[in-house]
A and B are shown apart, each in its own frame.
Chain A
Amino acid sequence: MTSHFLPEPSPDASLPDEKGRFGEFGGRFVPETLIAALDQLETEYYQSRKDPAFQAELDVLLRDFVGRPSPLYFAKRLTEHCGGAQIWFKREDLNHTGAHKINSTLGQALLTMRMGKKRVIAETGAGQHGVATATACAHFGIPCVIYMGEEDIRRQQPNVQSMKMLGAEICPVTTGSRTLRDAVNQAMRDWMSSVADTHYILGSVVGPHPFPLIVRDYQAVIGRETIQQSQERFGRLPDAVVACVGGGSNAAGMFYPFVAETDVPLVGVEAGGESDQPGRHASSLTFGKPGVLHGSFSYVLQDEDGQTDDVHSASAGLDYPGVGPEHSHWKSTGRVEYRSCRDDEALAAFDLVARNEGILPALETSHAIAKGMEVAKERGKDEVVVICLSGRGDKDAGEIQRLKNEAAARRT
């Protein structure tokens, strides 16, 4: 596992610039109180990238604790069902803790200790980042507090239980829509007071610089492995790569190493919720506008006054009114195509993969699969479509049953 695989990075792959901008997107729109901590984080992060001992420690953890590299798996029956290109899954669901989030939390926990900080806070939506943070903190013995919206606590109970068993303190967030966005607000407010001795392990490629950079880099192991595995299996790169986008961390990690490989189409899939109406979806790139939220300039769902819109998605991890600034840049340059996937399409994809492949994908991931099947159908049988299977769906079993019962009740 090497840190830099790109032979000749394209201008895109060298971003962000020194102001933390991806093109016009990104930057730092946070209170002055946090600036010194962000500067320290940036400095330590760049130093850690050049520190062989730090990288070696992380690589060993990724291999022995997480179980990397994650397999690239041929979804044969799903491919037959779709009748188009071969569908392959990058199996991030097989990582320890069941999702890609652990790739970043271990790196950030190491950074926490490198900075001499004694406490960790994090936000979580689906709970996967909360579990991965609680796991990294238990592994290193760092006290940790997880902010989670009350609505998400309700719909992601199994992950709440796991976090508690791992020794994390859960702080329910009761303000606003009581989902991921409010959990980020509350974590930021904690950090405003605790910044001297606390690191905020942000879960996605959102927030002020350098978070979008750090989280993307730690997740880029997904894309690097996919490139290597594709070369081994097919002797070439895939013909298309698909990943789901809430804040966009698994997609950024998958796409970033492909950015310079301009022959490979990249497709990001946002949560389309119930409809295109404001408040009924969470597709910031598809329906939003550039604006400021949670410390960075990026696409966001807001009203004319700059107030954040309510959003909806069946999946807690995609139920977010903003998106990482690098995704906004990739949208504006056209490097990545973004599609929007409705709740019912994602639920249908979940069923199909469960019954045809013996895999329960996360509800978030099911969005990528639904649109990945669409992409496969658009292509010939000798082509290869890789979908990032970002997480496992055990956590969603109860919520999916509830949604199905609701849908059945509506039909009768």
Chain B
Amino acid sequence: MSAIDELFQRLKSEGKKAFMPFVTAGDPSLDFTAAILKRLDAEGCHLAELGIPYSDPIADGPVIQASYTRSLQGGTRLSGIFEMASEVTSEISMPVVTMVSYAIIYRMGIDEYLQQAIAAGISGAIVPDMPVDESDELAAKCKALDFSLIQLITPTTPRDRAVQIAEQTTGFIYYVSITGITGERTELPADLADNLKWLKSVTDLPICVGFGISKLEHVEVLKPVADGLIVGSAIVRRIAAATNDQSKNQDVMDDVGGFAQEMLSAIND
């Protein structure tokens, strides 16, 4: 059983939902990323998504794109990210998964990537540009290592295909709330709750919802039908105010920590 399976089993027995923040590795520095991960863990967040910066992200809106650009311009390398992660994961209790382009995994080599990620204490991967049809090799290798491969289902996914994706997924299903790229939205689609109810009826995996989620109202809608909520841009936007001088980032840390606390209490009040 992976760390993620254990997490959701525990939450289920406690009748709780997961709050899962996303942060970009190396934005603005790996020191900041380490500090904010520890802070989010201390606030009680359940799982962190660590975004591996990529030069050509297709699924991301302007906020996350800009964070990737800042990180890469600051000289972030994969080796540094794994180094930082291995230090942090030993000190925190929430599992960490990477959001990573297949371009990056392929260049390093699937085996090497998995080995380094696992050595760094990382529990799984979300690979947003690898649809289920291309994922056989990666899925088999992840399974053999008990490393979760979290696949995405979207509003444009036909239902028979959604069932097939669920069968190939480990850890949890990432349900994309909207047809579009990442970024905060005022409103979520009207049929979102119904789609989630249907998906729940065909899989035993936890279902977590991401893309567009940023407001307490969203929490109210999703709480009854999702097992967890993923928030990216609303956090990355706050982190954009951070500087390379970690001693001057206390306000940003508090802003992000406070937002996480608000969302956490809305989810599990």
Contacts and interface: CB of A to CB of B under 8 A. Distances in A.
Interface in B34-67: 54-61, 65
A300 B104 CA distance: 12
A393 B157 CA distance: 44
B107 interface: yes
A292 B102 contact: yes
A27 to B, nearest CB: 6
Interface string A90-116: 000000000000000000000000000
Interface in B90-148: 101-108, 128-134
B14 to A, nearest CB: 31
Contacts of B102: 29, 292
- Pick the most buried of B61, B77, B129, B132: most chain A CB atoms within 10 A of its CB: B129
A246 B65 CA distance: 25
A192 interface: yes
A292 B106 contact: yes
A185 B107 contact: no
Given A192-B181, A305-B78, A35 B156 contact: yes
B179 A292 contact: no
B180 A193 contact: yes
A301 B85 CA distance: 28
A131 interface: no
A31 B65 contact: no
B199 interface: no
Interface string A282-306: 0000000001111101001010111
Interface residues of B, number: 42
B193 to A, nearest CB: 19
Contact of B129 (A19, A36, A295, A300): A295
Contacts of B152: 31-32
B104 to A, nearest CB: 4
B69 interface: yes
Contacts of A305: 77-78, 104, 107-108
Interface string A120-157: 00000000000000000000000000000000000000
Contacts of A291: 103, 106-107
Nearest to A190: B181
Contact of A30 (B105, B108, B129): B129
Given A33-B154, A195-B179, A292-B129, A189 B58 contact: yes
B72 interface: yes
Contact of A306 (B107, B128, B133, B180): B107
B15 interface: no
B30 interface: no
Contacts of B60: 189
Contacts of B154: 31-33
A307 interface: yes
Contacts of A28: 131, 133-134
B132 to A, nearest CB: 8
A306 B54 contact: yes
A306 B176 contact: no
A307 to B, nearest CB: 4
Contacts of B103: 29, 291-293, 300, 302, 306, 308
Contacts of B181: 189, 192-193
Nearest to A33: B154
B58 A188 contact: yes
15 contacts: A29-B102, A29-B129, A31-B59, A32-B151, A32-B152, A32-B153, A33-B179, A33-B180, A36-B161, A185-B56, A189-B58, A295-B129, A305-B107, A306-B54, A306-B105
Given A36-B156, A196-B179, 15 more contacts: A31-B59, A32-B132, A32-B154, A32-B157, A33-B156, A35-B156, A189-B59, A192-B59, A192-B181, A193-B180, A292-B102, A292-B106, A293-B103, A307-B54, A308-B55
Across chains A and B, which 8 residue pairs bring their CB atoms closest together, nearest first? A306-B107, A193-B180, A306-B104, A292-B103, A307-B55, A31-B59, A188-B58, A308-B55
Interface of A: 19, 27-37, 175-176, 181, 185, 188-189, 192-193, 195-196, 291-295, 297, 300, 302, 304-308
